[in-house]
């Protein structure tokens, strides 16, 4: 049961990431003014994926009843998750800033 659960978690997460990357790449290719923002969003997905890997390792070790490796992997997962959220927020702030500049330049025309 535990092995099937881990495979389902990994498969579901992998499917989600692949779909998200396809959408982001499509938006990046069709966007003219926000291209640099998508780098931050991709960075978020990469760091978040690394966090998920450590989280899954921690869960796997917990199911195998390990002590310190569980905590180490959980700490790594938390740190990577934090970095991924910072990347996502930087991307969101940059896109908001660019949108505000565009709106202000259109109002002056």
pLDDT in tens, the chain (109 residues): 467 767 777 888 888 888 888 888 887 787 777 778 888 888 888 888 888 888 887 777 776 665 666 667 767 777 888 888 888 888 877 877 877 787 788 776 5
pTM of the model: 0.62
pLDDT at position 70: 65
- Sorted by sequence, the CB contacts under 8 Å of residue 98 that are 6+ apart come out as 33, 34, 37
Burial class (CB in 10 A: 0-12, 13-18, 19+), 39: middle
pLDDT at position 1: 41
Determine contact, residues 53/76, Cβ cutoff 8 Å. no
């Amino acid at each position: 049961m535990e092995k099937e659960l881990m495979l389902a978690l990994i498969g579901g997460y992998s499917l989600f990431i692949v779909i998200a990357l396809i959408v982001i790449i499509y938006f990046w290719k069709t966007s003219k003014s926000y291209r640099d923002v998508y780098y931050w969003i991709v960075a978020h997905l990469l760091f978040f994926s690394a966090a998920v890997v450590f989280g899954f390792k921690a869960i796997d070790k917990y199911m195998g009843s390990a002590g310190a490796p569980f905590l180490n992997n959980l700490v790594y997962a938390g740190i990577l998750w934090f970095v991924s959220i910072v990347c996502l927020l930087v991307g969101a702030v940059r896109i908001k800033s660019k949108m505000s500049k565009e709106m202000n330049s259109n109002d002056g025309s």
